[in-house]
Structure 1
Amino acid sequence: MEAPVLVSNTSSQPMPDSKPSPWGMPAVTVEPVSFAEVMSEQLACSLHQDEENQMEKSMSHTLEDLEVWDQTEGSTDCSNDLILAHLLQMEYDREHDVCLVRQEQKFNGSSKVSVSFNNYRRLPREMLFDSDEDDDEEIGAQHWDMFEKAEKSSPAIGRSGFTRHGGEITTKHDPIICSHRNACRVMEFPPGFLTGDGGSFDMKLSNHVYNKLKVHSYAEQRRAARLHDKKEKSTAEHSLDPKTRLILYKLVNQEVLEGVNGCISVGKEASVFHAWGGKPADQIVPGECAIKAFKTTLSEFKNRDKYIRDDYRFRERFNKQNPRKVIHMWAEKEMHNLTRIRKAGLPCPEVVALKKHVLVMTFIGSDQKPAPKLKEAKLSLEQFNQAYSQTVEVVKRLYKDCHLVHADLSEYNLLWHNSQVWVIDVSQAVEPNHPRALEFLLRDCTNISTFFKKQGVGDVMGPKELFTLVSGLQLPGEGAELLSEIQNYERDEEILAHGCSDKSDYFEILFSKVQTQNT
């Protein structure tokens, strides 16, 4: 039985409807080949010989390209298309080989076992780099080889700690061996520790110098790690750590804000930024907004638990062991206080959004210019009189209508805008049933009286008179005596609130609470 014959469908004659090739390539005629010839060993040998001939031909073309490059380098003649094609192809090959070199450096790094991509390069190495770069690399390699060769030429010392060579005993503490080994090891120190390449001299490092460099290198690593950690997690500078920036990005993506501008003010516990309001679908946002970002360094909140620990609204959620949650609660507390003050009709910023420790409010001012604080406002005596009467009214209505004590009311937390006093910074405000609310109220009254007396305002009430007007309590004494009476009054109210008959029972309850917290 005859072997089957494989016949190609390709015809030697072009199709009548087909157009000739635009490149003028003639049609290739494929001769029919039998299956026996395909399986023959002679055909395999001939194909292998053809591949070798093709490789030799490609190498000859590469040499021709090099000759063309040498002849045309530096010339401006671009009339020959063949030369241009060669030059363009060589540029492509050069870019390909440069990428291979970068990949090779990335895989190898500082490892002693290296990976080479030389088999995949398209150009010789002398065409990939300039001669100056090659000289520098060769010099550096020579220096490194000199250190490495000096280390390898040293006699190997085993676990015994010494070796015999030529009748002499060499220990592991030999200064020459240690100096060569240290010179080679110092090259492996972390990046950023500049050691050089030897400078064409036989560098030797004693153990004392090498240990000093090693300790310094480790210290620099730890210092860099601390600085990186502080930079990523703290917000001492303008409160904009990566988490705060991410919150602002989300507010912009949700169209709550259109853009964030510069910093308005920097305080001890927060920073305020100006922003343009967006146009979300579910709420109305003013054109100008103020962003209050509380600092997450936690240093300013260590002694502020007294404002939130005894507040019944946050008492169950308060945990001093997790200070970051305290900051979130601090921002939430300011939001609730501002909402309560706004409902009472007092002038204060309106809350737009709250995201963790970032509070977005309406901007008090116009055209990106914030309203001045009473401390910085340049007012006439008549305007100061007007501001004093408004401030007294604010303190009274905060206590009676809003059931709040500001606890930090001063000329720094009152703004003057459109001939009106505006209240800000109410995160520390507490309710009148707070154990220290009356102490905070007396402090607010003292700050107000002291400031407006300095401004020359007439008929300014004293701290005790203003305290009595706001709280309605008639307590004896002045100054420290009045403060002592207020503390005694608050302690008596606390005793009555716990249902105790006398102070001894109350102190027993406090002692049991302390023991419970300690356990």
Structure 2
Amino acid sequence: MDQSGVTAHTQKSPWGPAVPAAPSCSLADVMSEQLARQLDEENQTFPSLIDPADLLLSDDAPDTESDLMLAQMLQMQFDREFDDQLRREERKFNGESKVSISFENYRMVHPYEDSDSSEDEVDWQDTRHDPYRAEKPQTTPRKGFTGKGKNITTKHDEVMCGRKNTARMDNFAPEVHVGDGLGMDLKLSNQVFNSLKQHCYNEQKRSARVHEKKEHSTAEQAVDPRTRLLMYKMVNAGVLENINGCISTGKESVVFHANGGSLDEQPVPDEVVLKVFKTTLNEFKNRDRYIKDDYRFIDRFTKLNPRKIIRLWAEKEMHNLTRMKKAGIPCPDVVLLKKHILVMSFIGKDHVPAPKLKEVMLSSDDMKDAFYQVLNVMQQLYQECNLVHADLSEYNMLWHQGKVWLIDVSQSVEPMHPHGLEFLLRDCRNVSTFFQKRGVSEAMNAFELFNTVTRLNIPITEDEAEFVAEIVALEKRNEDHVQRRGKKMFPVASEDPPLEVDADD
């Protein structure tokens, strides 16, 4: 049949005019060699940069002759993409949870099958990708008999135990940097491994003790959780409007500034301070004598409960301030005592505390006036309040509104204390030395100041030891007299406010 005579059949469209058919082409034109050579010449005008034949003949080219090889390569690439997606889903599912779920069983290519796996999947013994590895990789010897029973390998083999101990180091604390082990055939003996394990255990226990100590003690400029809770309760109860921050730190306490509110419908001063006694007794171990021999608190003193000693210390300062306020001595007013937190009026103005006598620069007349004020205060404290400051110095006296104010009286004791007169002589020495250095000619020496305050008229000699011996003998006579009369002759002053006792105490 002549193909050239075949005419195209035009199909009629029921929805419109007929579509003209494409022009027919004879089979001879398709198989024409002349047409093929013409097309080949046209293609040669744009030669390719790389000859496909050269690419197929190169050594690096993959073998693409087998359809099975192509299918395996495509399947491997698909499996890797699937595993990557599975890892992303695993990370998204676990998030930051401490308990994670692994999708390892759903993976298509496992680490020992995938030579291009990521670094986090490489085991510590896997040195296939290590350029510095030996010709034969180190492997764990197999257990059992080898060489017709001549060589026996058991679980106690030195090489096997060394490598297992190295792998078990991953279970140590995060602070122990063990390395990844790649490129190194690490072998730890049992002795070294046990020593490291015991060291990590001891370090964890020590860290736990340090953390617990910080949680239950008052730091330099911070407070422990229990103290913070007490402070928050004061704010919530309306006693304090807010707590502004730390204004002073010392060996025994931290002082915070706050704005007052109301207490039992009574107004609290606009500005108050919170004296928080530190709950650690590192500095108090040498200061027990200030309170254990005080006849007001001797029945309640105990060395076995440090927190109660701190509360007793705060209670003692409250009683001493109350006595001083009754005698008219310039000192802070007591607002509230809550366990080891003492709330007092603020000595200063507009969040600025009054300067210490050590820091303020006064004229000669004002310094002379300050000396006589201190002398008068010491006499009132000894004769009217029946107290000895026991830590009086220029650091515990403030200059405010032209007057000297006394602070920090938690260690103050009564004169009948076994060491009360010795404490008073030390106070007199501190006061005399300070004012003499500031050029106050009227300042007396320590012995004259002692006699002026106490009115004991102890003979003053050139030998200081004789004066001190006379004081010690006087204290001894007072102690014997107190023991004969009984300790009840020094009760808590009736004018002192009642103590606040919490139900949980």
TM-score by length of 2: 0.68
Deviation of residue 182 (structure 1)?
A: 1.5
Greater displacement, 172-181 / 380-389 = 172-181
Question: In the TM superposition, what is the alpha-carbon distance from 1:171 to its structure 2 partner?
Answer: 4.3
2:93 is matched with 100
3-state SS, counterpart of residue 402 of structure 1: coil
Which residue in the other structure is 1:487 paired with? 472
Judging changes above 3 Å, is the alpha-carbon distance between structure 1 residues 476 and 215 closer, same or farther for their aligned structure 2 residues? same
Alignment of structure 1 residues 135-214 onto 2, 5 Å: 138-143=118-123, 146=126, 154-155=141-142, 164-165=145-146, 167=149, 168-199=151-182, 201=183, 203-207=185-189, 210-211=193-194, 213-214=196-197
Partner Cα distance (1:366, 1:386) in 2: 23
Instruction: State the distance in 1 between where 2:169 and 2:146 align.
Output: 27
In the alignment, structure 1 residue 253 sits paired with structure 2 residue 236? yes
Distance 2:107 2:359 in 1: 71
Change (3 A) 1:280 1:137: farther
1:441-479 Cα deviation digits (max 9, x unpaired):
222222211211111112222322222222221222442
Distance (whole Å) between structure 2 residues aligned to residue 378 and residue 136 of structure 1: 78
- Cα displacement (A) at 1:416: 0.2
Q: Distance in 2 between matches of 1:297 and 1:238?
A: 14
> Whose helix fraction is larger, Structure 1's or Structure 2's?
1
- Residues of 2 paired with 1:420 and 1:190: CA distance? 60
Could you tell me whether the CA contact under 8 Å between 1:144 and 1:197 is conserved in 2? yes
Alignment partner for residue 201 of structure 2, among 218, 226, 244?
218
In the alignment, what sits opposite 1:470?
Answer: 453
User: In structure 2, how many angstroms separate the alpha carbons of the residues matched to 1:164 and 1:237?
Assistant: 67
Cα distance 1:282–1:391, how it changes in 2: closer, same or farther (>3 A)? same
Displacement of 1:230 in angstroms is 3.1
Equivalent-residue separation in structure 2 for 1:417 and 1:364 (angstroms): 7
Q: For residue 412 of structure 1, give the secondary structure of its aligned residue in structure 2.
A: coil
The CA deviation at 1:382 is: 0.8
Alignment match, 1:37: none
Q: Which amino acid aligns with 1:265?
A: S
Q: In terms of Rg, which structure is larger?
A: 2
CA distance in 1, matches of 2:251, 2:118: 58
The question of whether the paired residues in 2 share the 8 Å contact of 1:410 and 1:444 is answered with yes
**1:288–1:151 distance in 2 versus 1, CA, 3 Å:** farther
Q: Is the 8 A contact 2:355 2:400 kept in 1?
A: yes
Between the aligned partners of 2:139 and 2:457, the Cα distance in structure 1 is: 93
Higher relative contact order (CA 8 A, sep 6+): 2
Paired amino acid for 2:161: C
Matching of residues 377-392 of structure 1 within 5 Å: 377-392=360-375
Q: Counterpart of 2:272?
A: 289
Corresponding residue number in structure 1 for 2:484: 499
Q: Are 1:344 and 2:327 counterparts?
A: yes
User: Aligned-pair distance for 1:102?
Assistant: 3.7
Q: Secondary structure at the match of 1:218?
A: helix
C-alpha contact (below 8 Å) 2:335/2:345 kept by paired residues? yes
Deviations 1:3-22 (A, max 9, x none): xxxxxxxxxxxxxxxxxxxx
Distance of aligned partners of 1:481 and 1:182 in 2 relative to their CA distance in 1, 3 Å threshold: same
Q: What amino acid is aligned across from residue 107 of structure 1 in structure 2?
A: V
* One-letter amino acid of the counterpart of residue 467, structure 1: F
CA contact (8 A) 2:141 2:153 kept: no
Mapped partners of 1:151, 1:350: distance in 2? 80
| CA 1:215–1:135: 2 relative to 1, 3 Å | farther
What SS is found at the alignment partner of 1:299? Answer: coil
Note if 1:271 corresponds to 2:271. no
Instruction: Give the Cα–Cα distance (whole angstroms) in 2 for the partners of residues 417 and 213 of structure 1.
Output: 61
CA contact (8 A) 2:416 2:475 kept: no
2:390 to 407, 419, 430: 407
Other structure's SS at 1:430 match: coil
Q: Which runs of 5+ in 2 are unaligned?
A: 1-80, 82-86, 109-113, 128-136, 486-505
TM-superposed CA distance for 1:97, in Å, is 6.9
Does the CA contact (< 8 Å) of 2:90 and 2:103 recur in 1? no
Question: Larger deviation: 314-323 or 208-217?
Answer: 208-217
2:276 aligns to what SS in structure 1? strand
Question: Is the Cα contact below 8 Å between 1:155 and 1:165 reproduced in 2?
Answer: no
Separation in structure 1 between the aligned mates of residue 107 and residue 377 of structure 2, nearest angstrom = 82
* Poorly superposed stretches of 4+, deviation over 4 Å: 94-99, 115-119, 134-138, 144-147, 150-156
Distance 2:344 2:420 in 1: 26
- Judged with a 3 Å threshold, the aligned counterparts in structure 2 of structure 1 residues 434 and 209 are, in CA distance, closer, same or farther, namely closer
CA RMSD of aligned residues (A): 3.3
Opposite residue 106 of structure 1, the aligned amino acid is K
State how far apart, in whole Å, the 2-side matches of 1:334 and 1:137 are.
71
Alignment of 1:282-361 (within 5 A): 282-361=265-344
| Pairs aligned (count) | 382
